[in-house]
Amino acid sequence: MTGCHQEQADPRLDDAVRVALVGSPNAGKTTLFNSLTGLRAKTGNYPGVTVARYVGTCVTAAGRYRVEDLPGAYSLDPISPDEQVMVDALDGRPDGSTRPDALLLVVDATTLRRSMNLVAQVLARGLPACVVLTFTDDLARRQGHLDVDGFARALGVPVVAVRRGRDRTVLRDRLDGWREWTVAPVPPPVDPVERDAWAESVLAFAGYQGPRRHRTTDRVDAVLLHPVGGVLVFFLVMALFFQTIFTLAAPLQDGVAAVFAALGELVHRHVDNPWLSGLLGDALIGGVGGVLVFVPQIALMFLLLALLEGVGYLPRAAFLMDRVMARAGLEGRAFVALLSAFACAIPGIMATRTLPSARDRLATMMAAPLITCSARLPVYVLLVGLLVDPAARIGPFGVQGLVMFGLYLLGAVSAMVAAWAFTRIVDRRALPVPFYLELPPYRWPAPRAVLTAVADAAGSFLRKCTRIILITSIALWLLLNLPMHDAAELRAAGVDTTDRVAVATYGVNHSYAADLGHLVAPVFAPLGFDWRINVGVLSAQSARESFVATLGQVAAAEQPENPEQALRELTYTDGPRAGQPLFTAPVLAALLVYFAYALQCTATVGVIRRETGTWRWPLVAFAYLTGLAWVMAFLARSVTALLVG
């Protein structure tokens, strides 16, 4: 998840006017925050997208403003940590920070009646406020009505209406007049019954008429939310999702691969120094470039996810999965958190702050790393490409896409089982909290929001490639090329010094990397891994994508002319299987399953530590997932070996 200064203010903003954005989930707070500050905090169609306090700067002709986007909440009676963050910010707790100077109370005009409880509680806080009505164009299009001026008079505070994608400059003008914002002259009542009566009187005075329901929406929801039909549609959508990733991204991936192959060949041809040529051509271009070829798949996956979220399907999938989550002892909010983990486990773990139950939060944290994140995608694409013929099909579906869908399904089902187990381990007496999820109307997604999601995902992937994977690739290249072997040693070993491939193969098999791979061989030998795969698995602890760079460098070191073909033709170099093909179906199955379960992300471990406040649970997560990965990989190899003979 992207944001500005999470939970901390920029020291340069100490003298700025403090303005807090307050509102319920899906009201449009974060979109307004991005518009005011020019930042790119993530927006979404389900609760839990904003799970921390995000701070940005808005500079106008009249002044400088410290704008804070608070987590969404339906009331100021918190039942979850993210709602508590909102209440604490309004009250200046718990760190004793200053209360906001003014509030922008963001309210969805299409759900105004439901939002009046929050409006009453916020206005009763006694802070200068301006109510911002969003989706007013949707209200008018659906034959609803609201007298904005009458609404402002009834509340006793200024009200401004903004339309989707327009009128954003109106808010900047309003900020400059913040000193004229008023505190509600007659605070709304505190008693719930009196508050409801107050809300009805305000809406009546403003002539509010809610939007009419769409018959088309009702018909579509009758299918998508059906206990049986909805599940079938969900699986069909997911199958098409992964089929599209493989089919549409393949030409782009081939194009990117061709560019890096040409660059590598150019370096090897024109750089005479073998060390510099290897560093640039193999470590830099071959290692990092071998991972960058998967940018099209990453971008396409996030494009499809943004479209599904933008049109309103993903919140309905969360509602549909509430029954499934109940089987795991959790609730629908947990599915929303796990849904975030498909991009990365870190925002998924942070989204557990929306869960009221401490037991559910911990169980979801322990399960989130099993959800197939984007970092696994390059590994899956590489290994599935080695395992399955691209031309293989079952009816209209390519087998590669179906295998990919199966891997994602494996991660999701395993996460459910893990969550179920941890709910039994942690506290079986915890009482469930009712699950409330607002289903947004079907809308065309905002192009800017979709493109921002894709750009952020691709940018995050590129930054990882230029930092973690670059460092890993250079370190691996050194391990593969050291120590040096002189001609006398090569001749003594029976190596033809005029055969470049033979010399390279000897050097790789007698390198520090080979020593490291052989050191851990007893652990991975039952899975069918050789020392080269072992090194790849170890390098993946820094970033899963490093596994792809590792295998690419190993293949390039042994056969620089055609590393892709060399990868397919790798054989065991020692032991009873010496000379036999390395990447057989059982070994590939074991590798895929191992990566599906293993916790190979130090950042995820760190986030679990921060969210739980102890090292106990991150260590438990690492231990149980690593052990589970080994056991499941062993079973996958054994079963596949029986099936293929």
Do residues 301 and 9 make contact, with C-beta atoms less than 8 angstroms apart? no
The answer to whether residue 434 sits within a structural domain is no
Gap between the Cα atoms of 645 and 640, Å rounded: 8
Tokens of 257: 């691969």
DSSP 525: G
Co-location of 173 and 245 in the same domain? no
The answer to whether residue 493 sits within a structural domain is no
- Specify the range with the lowest mean pLDDT, choosing from 14-23, 70-79, 283-292, 368-377: 283-292
CB contact burial 270-288 (16+ within 10 A = b; e otherwise): eeeeeeebbbbbbbbbbbb
The residue among 212, 245, 265 that closes a domain is 212
Co-location of 242 and 375 in the same domain? yes
Residue 52, pLDDT > 70, answer no
Pairing of strands 54-59, 64-69: antiparallel
Do residues 564 and 545 make contact, with C-beta atoms less than 8 angstroms apart? no
- Specify the range with the lowest mean pLDDT, choosing from 51-55, 218-222, 435-439: 51-55
What rounded mean pLDDT belongs to the chain? 83
Residue 639: pLDDT band with limits 50, 70, 90: very high
Residue 462: pLDDT band with limits 50, 70, 90: confident
- Specify the range with the lowest mean pLDDT, choosing from 11-20, 47-56, 86-95, 392-401: 47-56
Alpha helices in 342-499 (DSSP H): 345-350, 358-367, 376-387, 399-426, 447-464, 470-481, 487-492
Q: What is the pLDDT of residue 39?
A: 67
Residue 36 CB coordination number (10 Å): 23
pLDDT (tens digit per residue) in 93-117 = 655 567 899 999 999 999 999 999 9
**Cα dihedral sign for 72, 74, 76, 77?**
negative
Residue 3, pLDDT > 50, answer no
The answer to whether residue 617 sits within a structural domain is yes
Alpha helices in 12-68 (DSSP H): 29-37
Co-location of 154 and 255 in the same domain? no
Residue 522, pLDDT > 50, answer yes
Gap between the Cα atoms of 530 and 511, Å rounded: 14
SS3 label, residue 77: coil
Residue 305: pLDDT band with limits 50, 70, 90: confident
The residue among 426, 446, 471 that closes a domain is 426
Co-location of 155 and 249 in the same domain? no
The answer to whether residue 439 sits within a structural domain is no
Which range, 145-154, 465-474, 532-541, is most confident? 145-154
Residue 450 CB coordination number (10 Å): 19
DSSP 134: E
Tokens of 337: 């958190």
Residue 524: pLDDT band with limits 50, 70, 90: very high
The residue among 404, 426, 448 that closes a domain is 426
Do residues 548 and 289 make contact, with C-beta atoms less than 8 angstroms apart? no
Co-location of 463 and 418 in the same domain? no
Sheet strand arrangement including 17-23: 54-59, 64-69, 17-23, 102-108, 129-134, 159-161
- Specify the range with the lowest mean pLDDT, choosing from 27-41, 113-127, 577-591: 27-41
Residue 14 CB coordination number (10 Å): 10
Gap between the Cα atoms of 185 and 177, Å rounded: 18
Co-location of 191 and 56 in the same domain? yes
pLDDT (tens digit per residue) in 328-375 = 777 777 877 787 787 788 878 887 877 777 888 899 999 999 998 888
Give the number of domains in the chain: 3
Gap between the Cα atoms of 18 and 4, Å rounded: 15
Interval 495-511 mean pLDDT: 79
The answer to whether residue 348 sits within a structural domain is yes
Co-location of 587 and 624 in the same domain? yes
The answer to whether residue 102 sits within a structural domain is yes
Which range, 1-15, 73-87, 438-452, 619-633, is most confident? 619-633
Gap between the Cα atoms of 476 and 466, Å rounded: 15
Q: Report which of residues 478 and 434 the model is more confident about.
A: 478
Residue 629, pLDDT > 70, answer yes
Gap between the Cα atoms of 480 and 550, Å rounded: 10
Co-location of 175 and 250 in the same domain? no
Q: Report which of residues 615 and 163 the model is more confident about.
A: 615
CB contact burial 549-566 (16+ within 10 A = b; e otherwise): bbbbbbbbbbbbeebeeb
Residue 402, pLDDT > 80, answer yes
Tokens of 379: 């590994």
Co-location of 422 and 527 in the same domain? no
Do residues 571 and 531 make contact, with C-beta atoms less than 8 angstroms apart? no
Q: What percent of the chain has pLDDT over 90?
A: 27
Find tokens 């491939």 and name the residue.
501
The answer to whether residue 1 sits within a structural domain is no
The answer to whether residue 221 sits within a structural domain is no
Co-location of 249 and 104 in the same domain? no
Find tokens 């107050």 and name the residue.
198
Co-location of 205 and 235 in the same domain? no
Residue 36: pLDDT band with limits 50, 70, 90: confident
In three-state form (DSSP H/G/I as H, E/B as E, the rest C), the secondary structure along 594-614 is HHHHCCCCHHHHHHHHHHHCC
Residue 87, pLDDT > 50, answer yes
> Amino acid identity, residue 355?
L
Interval 539-555 mean pLDDT: 83
Gap between the Cα atoms of 373 and 543, Å rounded: 12
Which range of residues forms the domain containing residue 471? Answer: 456-480+507-644
Co-location of 205 and 312 in the same domain? no
Q: What is the pLDDT of residue 435?
A: 65
Residue 411, pLDDT > 90, answer yes
> Any idea what the CATH number is for the domain that residue 92 is in?
3.40.50.300
Is the pTM here over 0.85, yes or no?
no
Do residues 571 and 587 make contact, with C-beta atoms less than 8 angstroms apart? no
pLDDT (tens digit per residue) in 218-263 = 899 999 999 889 989 988 888 888 788 778 887 888 888 888 888 8
Q: What is the pLDDT of residue 90?
A: 86
In what helix (H) or strand (E) does residue 113 lie, and over which residues does it extend?
helix 112-123
Residue 485: pLDDT band with limits 50, 70, 90: confident
Residue 188, pLDDT > 50, answer yes
